Amino acid sequence: MKTQPVTSLAAFCLAVIACLAVLITSCQWVGRPTAAIALGAILPMTGSGAQYGEEVRRGIDIALAEVNSKGGINNTPLKLALEDSATDPKTAVFAFEKLTADRSVQVIVTEVSGVVLALAPRANEKKVILLNVGATNPKIREAGPYVFSNINDATVETKFMAGFAFTQLKAKKAAVLYTEVAYGQGAREVFAAAFKALGGAIVAEVPFREQSLDFRAQLGQVRRAAPEVVYLTGHTRDLAKILKQAYEMRFRPQWISNATFEGEDVVRIAGQASEGVIYAFTDLGYQHASVVAKRFTDSYRAKYSADPGIYCATGYDAAMLTYRATSSVGNDATKIRQRFLSMEPFEGASGITKFLPNGAVEKPLFLKTVRNGEFVPYQQ
């Protein structure tokens, strides 16, 4: 008789605890959003490459809006975890460690050659995908099993321009004026080797420091070598200043360049001095009005009232490639890597992406020039 109240009380307490557990669980479920999968990004949001970082970010944002409007990855939203590299390899390394502390980050989008090469050993060690969308140093294609690029490197782009200079422009003497950082050095090496192999002579190879104000000493050195063409490679603002100062010095060779040349700063800063520069450019998908590329371009124009550039397109494609692979194999970098390598050709905003066994791509190129202040296809 004395134990009955105790038993009843115990049963009552257990019932209350069970109800509270259900209630707490229900409240947590209602109030807590579904855990997101994070796409990491280490981009130059400040520094000399800030223009390129902003373009990539815009492309990724459009892709994520598109993906999440359809339910994300298997009903899980895909979010962006963005860190600023400040266009500096050391800063980028700190950003990498911060991002990879979150195991939901299995793919990191990045650019700038020095940054990519600095991050590559850590990405391979931690088995995290490093997806390059803007760096062109040829060494990147041999940077390790977890490093991928969905943009042509200098091996593709610069050889193309060396061949154009020698065979179509009939130039026999060329100079290279290049940024002294990693991707500029890589482009210089490739252009010089390719032009010499065709039978041409490299009469000057002159480096310049990024974000300088005065390039006249370097320009004087190039002019004294009397080249017929000058291959110019660097960040857009530097190239614009170089062209303007060369024009003021009445040094007007045939300038040739690569895809990094195309940017609003070129025409805004260089003005007339940019007219006639010829450069290689990736054959972007939206120029052929593919379904994917047209959707991307329409979304970009609606949001930013402008046409997307190459880094907007490669940023968009990086997010969509991650979405496609992760939806198929889950958020695991080792499996995503295998999926990237076996994936059928991906038709995106930046053209067709098909990864080679070393993670590089070789996309079709064509020529563009500046005419009447606009970037247009080149016609000889």
Query: Tell me: the pLDDT tens digits for 184-198?
Result: 888 899 999 999 999
Do residues 371 and 236 both lie within one domain?
yes
Inside any domain, residue 31: no
Q: What secondary structure does DSSP assign to 304-368, as a single string?
A: HSS---HHHHHHHHHHHHHHHHHHHH-S-HHHHHHHHHHPPPEEETTEEE---TTS-----EEEE
Give me the mean pLDDT over the 73-77 stretch. Answer: 91
Total-model pTM: 0.78
Residue 2 — very low, low, confident or very high, per pLDDT cuts 50/70/90?
Answer: very low
Which comes out higher in pLDDT, residue 49 or 92? 92
Do residues 298 and 345 both lie within one domain?
yes
Inside any domain, residue 28: no
Least-confidence region, from 30-39, 160-169, 325-334: 30-39
Residue 157 — very low, low, confident or very high, per pLDDT cuts 50/70/90?
Answer: confident
Buried b (16+ CB within 10 A) or exposed e, 124-138: eeeebbbbbbbbbbb
What is the Cα–Cα distance from 170 to 76, expressed in whole angstroms? Answer: 56
Inside any domain, residue 211: yes
Do residues 78 and 47 both lie within one domain?
yes
Inside any domain, residue 19: no
- Integer-rounded Cα Rg, in Å, for the chain is 26
Tokens of 99: 């991002």
Give me the mean pLDDT over the 220-224 stretch. Answer: 97
pLDDT number for residue 284: 67
Do residues 148 and 63 both lie within one domain?
yes
Spatial CB neighbours of 168, under 8 Å, sequence gap ≥ 6: 380
Q: In the chain, pLDDT over 70 holds for what percent of residues? A: 89
- Specify the long-range contacts of residues 269-274, CB closer than 8 Å, at least 24 apart: 269/237, 269/240, 269/241, 269/244, 270/239, 270/240, 270/241, 270/243, 270/244, 271/244, 271/373, 272/247, 273/243, 273/244, 273/246, 273/247, 273/248, 274/240, 274/243, 274/370, 274/373
Tokens of 65: 């809006």
Is 297 a residue whose pLDDT tops 80? yes
Do residues 190 and 296 both lie within one domain?
no
Spatial CB neighbours of 99, under 8 Å, sequence gap ≥ 6: 40, 42, 81, 83, 105, 108
Decide if 229 contacts 253 (C-beta within 8 A).
yes
Is 233 a residue whose pLDDT tops 90? yes
- Mean pLDDT (the chain) is 88
pLDDT number for residue 287: 55
Inside any domain, residue 239: yes
pLDDT tens across 22-67, in order? 333 333 322 333 467 899 999 999 988 898 999 999 999 999 999 9
Inside any domain, residue 82: yes
Do residues 270 and 182 both lie within one domain?
yes
Do residues 171 and 275 both lie within one domain?
yes
238: nearest Cα among 206, 216, 213, 275? 213
Decide if 257 contacts 231 (C-beta within 8 A).
yes
Is 359 a residue whose pLDDT tops 60? yes
> What amino acid is encoded at 339 in this protein?
R
Decide if 304 contacts 58 (C-beta within 8 A).
yes
pLDDT tens across 196-214, in order? 999 999 999 999 998 899 9
Which comes out higher in pLDDT, residue 25 or 309? 309
pLDDT number for residue 293: 83
Is 17 a residue whose pLDDT tops 70? no
What is the Cα–Cα distance from 377 to 380, expressed in whole angstroms? Answer: 10
pLDDT number for residue 29: 26
What is the Cα–Cα distance from 171 to 79, expressed in whole angstroms? Answer: 49
pLDDT number for residue 3: 43
Decide if 280 contacts 161 (C-beta within 8 A).
yes
Do residues 146 and 258 both lie within one domain?
no
Is 370 a residue whose pLDDT tops 50? yes
How many domains does the chain divide into? 2
pLDDT number for residue 21: 42
Is 286 a residue whose pLDDT tops 90? no
Spatial CB neighbours of 143, under 8 Å, sequence gap ≥ 6: 116, 117, 120, 124, 130, 359
Inside any domain, residue 17: no
Do residues 48 and 147 both lie within one domain?
yes
Tokens of 75: 């009903």
What number of CA atoms fall less than 13 Å from residue 189's CA on the CB side?
Answer: 14
Q: Do β-strands 351-353 and 201-208 pair in parallel, antiparallel, or remain unpaired?
A: unpaired
Decide if 329 contacts 341 (C-beta within 8 A).
no
Residue 260 — very low, low, confident or very high, per pLDDT cuts 50/70/90?
Answer: confident
> What amino acid is encoded at 333 in this protein?
A
Do residues 191 and 262 both lie within one domain?
yes
Show the DSSP H helices in the chain as ranges. 3-31, 50-69, 89-100, 113-126, 154-167, 182-198, 216-224, 236-248, 264-265, 291-304, 310-329, 333-342
Inside any domain, residue 44: yes
| Residue 174 lies in domain | 155-282+367-377
Do residues 63 and 106 both lie within one domain?
yes
Do residues 186 and 266 both lie within one domain?
yes
The CATH number linked to 159 is: 3.40.50.2300
